[in-house]
Amino acid sequence: MVYPLAPAGDVQPAVEAVDLVKVFAKGNVRALDGVSLRVEAGTVLGLLGPNGAGKTTAVRILSTILTPDGGRAAVLGHDVVREADVVRQLIGLAGQYATVDENLTGRENLRMVGRLSHLPKGQTLEQADALLEQFGLAEAANRPLKTYSGGMRRRIDLAAALVSRPPILFLDEPTTGLDPQSRQDLWLVIEELVRVGTTVLLTTQYLEEADRLAHRVAVVDHGRVIAEGTPAELKADLGATVIEITLADPPSASAAAALLGNRDGKAPTLDGATVELTVEDGPRVAAEVLRALDQHQLTVVGLALREPSLDDVFLSLTGHRAEAERTGSTDDPEADRRALAPARGGR
Amino acid sequence: MNTTATLTPDRTIRQPPTGGRLRWAVADALTVTWRNLINYTRIPDAIFFSSIQPIMFVLLFRYVFGGAIHVPGTTYVNYLIAGVYVQTVMFGAVSTSVGLAEDLHKGLIERFRALPMARSAVLAGRTTADLVRNVGVLLLITAVGYLVGFRVQTNAVEFVAGLLLVLLFAYGLSWGFAIIGLSASNSETAQLAAFPVLFPLTFASSAFVPVTSMPGWLQAFAVHQPVSQLVDAMRQLMLGGHSAYWSSSNVWQALAWAVGLLVVLAPLAVLRYRRAA
């Protein structure tokens, strides 16, 4: 039969989804409302969006766990519904909702996944040991997972997805709730996987994560893709510079924000003692702003001009910051706060 | 260490071996069985309910209640053991529900669904592991029974046939409890949902007391329900047919129940599994 997603002769995308629709009967929720995605082989696509945007649903359809109510999707040219058995041999899945057995040891879990993937026995044993070594879990290999720390759990989850050395990897919020060091470690592993040729589709609520890992980003909100491009393109579309002015204290910042008023049709945003302006012509406006504040005896203690971050892109596209939606997403608010810190800080 | 070899993608698509998909399905079911059996050994609750509880029941009824219960034609300990066999596998079936509910809600089944394993392996592996555990439990009860005076009155062949009958019945029942596990919103609910079914079936039966001691309305239920059939079939096979209370017709009826449970409940459980997401 003619395959409509990948016409002969064209370079085949590693993952392609066309107009995916998924409606959950419970509560009549339209989780996906026509999502189209394309991930080129050997690249990373970041699916960025708040909780409930439909990111996980998209990943579950692409990894054959759910069947779509509309549209279609393929992995390396194999339809995820009609050729699910083939697709399952080509993908690895790790994420918040797909776990391994916490009563088994790390080694037992990896061996179980290898056997269930029908790998030759020798390959299963070898690959399990190599992955444990690679992920710094050799020492903990014979301990049940319930004794593992959060960072170790994520690593064994990822290792389990890699037992069959899949060319396509789906990572559903791989670092949500992790401490900065553990996130950093996981990022290095993901970068290494991409270097050796793995195609990755990752969902994240962390803008910094998408900025660091993804070649292209699709911003998802309310079951739709509302923007797609490279991180640089998305920032360029915003066409602006962000001016961050730090004052002595929050009341001075409020006074400054009121004084400066709208610039290029956008209101200043306040974050503690810092006022942020997104403007077309950064240097000129910055000079003007400094003069105005000086005239009103408002002391400026810090000034930064920066390119917009994905955070700014997200704010302008959705009207809310990504982290505002995250309340309750992890049971450790402290980890959330720490994880957010680098994304919020200027670069 | 060679990092690249460990992580380099492998695009091989494996075809089922010459034995066809069935061989993969059997291998996958055995892998899941292995995983479930390891789980039993690492969960203290599971060990308690599988081994300590039946020992307590044997001792409790043998030494505490047994003196007050009179059964004609045999000693109470001989009468009792068949009841403990059946009661234990009945209550043990709850672990099928609880185990599946946990796998479903903790995300393990989610992971399994994205693997190229046989769809049947999760249920087959769970029920098979429960079957293996039941074999161990029946042997344990037999050993404890012998220590407190129980003796088989027939022969080894009939006795083993009786144990196999109990195991077959329990296996069929497991599939029913799989449906409860897949339907419950969490493992605690799965456990609670099982008891209203288990209690009347197990205790309003001939498991521990002769049904003739019950009021007439209850007797009508107790005589005909499957647990009584199974317990009396076991007695027929262990103690012989010299009783007005049990006969070989119990054996055939219990066998019919066991096969019937399996034939009806297994397809329903598979259907429920396909729909559980």
Q: What is the sign of the dihedral through the CA atoms of B17, B23, B29 and B35? A: negative
Instruction: Give the number of A-B residue pairs with CB atoms closer than 8 Å.
Output: 112
DSSP state of A69: S
**Burial status of residue A133 (CB atoms within 10 A of its CB: 0-12, 13-18, 19 or more):** middle
Can you give the CATH number for the domain in which A145 is found? 3.40.50.300
Interchain CB contact of A165 with B (< 8 Å)? yes
Give me the long-range contacts of B138-143 (CB less than 8 A, separation at least 24).
B138/B85, B138/B88, B138/B89, B138/B163, B138/B166, B138/B167, B140/B51, B140/B54, B140/B55, B141/B54, B141/B55, B141/B58, B141/B81, B141/B84, B141/B85, B141/B88, B142/B81
Residue type (1 letter), A256: A
CA distance A105 to chain B (A): 10
Structure tokens at A233: 């393109």
**Under DSSP, is residue A74 helix (H, G, I), strand (E, B) or coil?**
strand
Q: What is the pLDDT of residue A265?
A: 65
Can you give the CATH number for the domain in which A300 is found? 3.30.70
Interchain CB contact of B68 with A (< 8 Å)? no
User: Residue A201 sits in which domain range?
Assistant: 15-230
Interchain CB contact of B47 with A (< 8 Å)? no
Q: Residue B207 phi/psi, 5° resolution?
A: -60, -45
Kindly state whether residue A343 falls inside one of the protein's structural domains: no
Examine the domain organization and report whether A214 and A280 are in the same domain. no
- Given a contact cutoff of 8 angstroms between Cβ atoms, the answer to whether A155 and A187 are in contact is no
Q: Where are the alpha helices (DSSP H) in chain A?
A: 55-62, 84-90, 106-116, 121-134, 150-161, 180-195, 207-213, 231-238, 250-260, 282-295, 310-318, 333-344
Q: Residue A79 phi/psi, 5° resolution?
A: -65, 135
Q: Residue B153 phi/psi, 5° resolution?
A: -100, -15
Examine the domain organization and report whether A63 and A187 are in the same domain. yes
Rounded distance between C-alpha atoms, residue B127 and residue B97, angstroms? 10
Q: Do B110 and A117 touch (CB under 8 A)?
A: no
Examine the domain organization and report whether A169 and A294 are in the same domain. no
Nearest CA-CA partner of B70 in B57, B79, B60:
B79
pLDDT tens, per residue, chain A with 347 residues: 444 444 444 578 999 999 999 998 877 788 999 999 999 999 999 998 888 889 999 999 999 999 999 999 999 999 999 999 999 999 999 987 778 899 999 999 999 999 999 999 999 999 999 999 999 999 999 999 999 998 899 999 999 999 999 999 999 999 888 888 889 989 999 999 999 999 999 998 888 898 899 999 999 988 999 999 998 888 777 767 888 889 888 888 888 888 887 776 677 888 888 888 888 777 888 888 888 888 888 888 888 888 777 777 777 777 766 554 444 333 333 333 333 333 333 33
Residue B3: CB atoms within 10 A of its CB come to 13
Q: What is the sign of the dihedral through the CA atoms of A293, A298, A300 and A304? A: negative
User: Which of A103, A116, A160 faces B38 most closely, judged by CB atoms?
Assistant: A103
Examine the domain organization and report whether A202 and A277 are in the same domain. no
Q: Do B5 and A130 touch (CB under 8 A)?
A: yes
Examine the domain organization and report whether A210 and A114 are in the same domain. yes
Examine the domain organization and report whether A205 and A250 are in the same domain. no
- Looking at beta carbons, which residues of chain A come within 8 Å of B102? none
- Given a contact cutoff of 8 angstroms between Cβ atoms, the answer to whether B100 and B176 are in contact is no
- Looking at beta carbons, which residues of chain B come within 8 Å of A66? 277
Domain locations in chain B as residue ranges = 21-275
Interchain CB contact of A86 with B (< 8 Å)? yes
Kindly state whether residue A248 falls inside one of the protein's structural domains: yes
User: Which of A90, A98, A198 faces B111 most closely, judged by CB atoms?
Assistant: A98
DSSP state of B240: -
Q: What is the pTM of this model?
A: 0.82
- Looking at beta carbons, which residues of chain A come within 8 Å of B106? 99, 102
Examine the domain organization and report whether A217 and A270 are in the same domain. no
- Looking at beta carbons, which residues of chain A come within 8 Å of B2? 130
**Number of domains observed in the structure of chain A:** 2
Rounded distance between C-alpha atoms, residue A260 and residue A277, angstroms? 9
Examine the domain organization and report whether A129 and A256 are in the same domain. no
Query: Is residue B116 over pLDDT 90?
Result: yes
Q: Do A134 and B1 touch (CB under 8 A)?
A: yes
Examine the domain organization and report whether A200 and A262 are in the same domain. no
Kindly state whether residue A327 falls inside one of the protein's structural domains: no
Q: Do A90 and B13 touch (CB under 8 A)?
A: yes
Q: Do B114 and A91 touch (CB under 8 A)?
A: yes
**Burial status of residue B148 (CB atoms within 10 A of its CB: 0-12, 13-18, 19 or more):** middle
Q: Do B116 and A89 touch (CB under 8 A)?
A: yes
Cα end-to-end span (Å), chain A: 51
> Is the ipTM above a cut-off of 0.90?
no
